[in-house]
Amino acid sequence: MEASAIAAMASANALNQVQQEVSVEVLRKALDIQGESAMQLLQAIPQPPAPAVGSTAGGIVDTWA
């Protein structure tokens, strides 16, 4: 194998490794952004109103009906 062919293979291998590392970083950033968006959506959900004191509304389910 000639020296130029070995050098070309080494260069291609290094380029492949850099491309893979960049792809992983882009994926990590995309997942971080997606996670932040999901948290914002969850925080935007309004809280249900608290039941009135002494109220049984929503507390009893008739399972015999």
Q: Which residues, including other chains, have CB under 8 Å from residue 51's CB and lie 6 or more apart? A: 57, 58, 59
CB 32 within 8 A of CB 38: no
Predicted confidence (pLDDT) at residue 52 exceeds the cutoff of 90: no
State the DSSP code for 45: S
In this structure, what token pair is assigned to residue 58? 């929503």
Predicted confidence (pLDDT) at residue 38 exceeds the cutoff of 90: yes
More confident residue, 13 or 62: 13
- Rounded Cα distance between 65 and 61, Å, is 9
15 conformational bin, left if phi > 0, alpha if psi -120 to 50, beta if neither: alpha
pTM for this predicted structure: 0.57
- What's the pLDDT tens digit per position in 3-35? 888 899 999 999 999 999 999 999 999 999 999
